[in-house]
Amino acid sequence: MDSNSPEYKREKLRQEELKNNAIGNFNDSLNESQRGMADFTGGMSSKMLGIVIVVLLLLIAVAWMIFN
């Protein structure tokens, strides 16, 4: 990962905040599931995210055809 990329800087700031703020770390651990998808999709390009969505829809359609 490039050290100048926004994702790298965002992750570095997040890690520093976790070290400096123990209560915030506890709060973050309680709310981890709410931001999980944002962390997952934040590093993707819109093209890649679109491909992931299309693949998921195709898998659902195939499963629906198999089980009906």
Q: For 47-66, write each residue's pLDDT tens digit.
A: 888 898 999 999 999 999 99
Residue with structure tokens 């599931």? 33
Mean residue pLDDT across the chain = 79
What span, in angstroms and rounded, lies between the C-alpha atoms of 54 and 34? 23
With b for 16 or more beta-carbon neighbours within 10 A and e for fewer, the 18-46 pattern comes to eeeeeeeeeeeeeeeeeeeeeeeeeeeee
pTM summary value: 0.43
Q: Find out whether 18 and 25 touch, Cβ atoms under 8 Å.
A: yes
- Residue corresponding to tokens 């629906």: 64
- Break the chain into its structural domains and give their ranges: 6-67
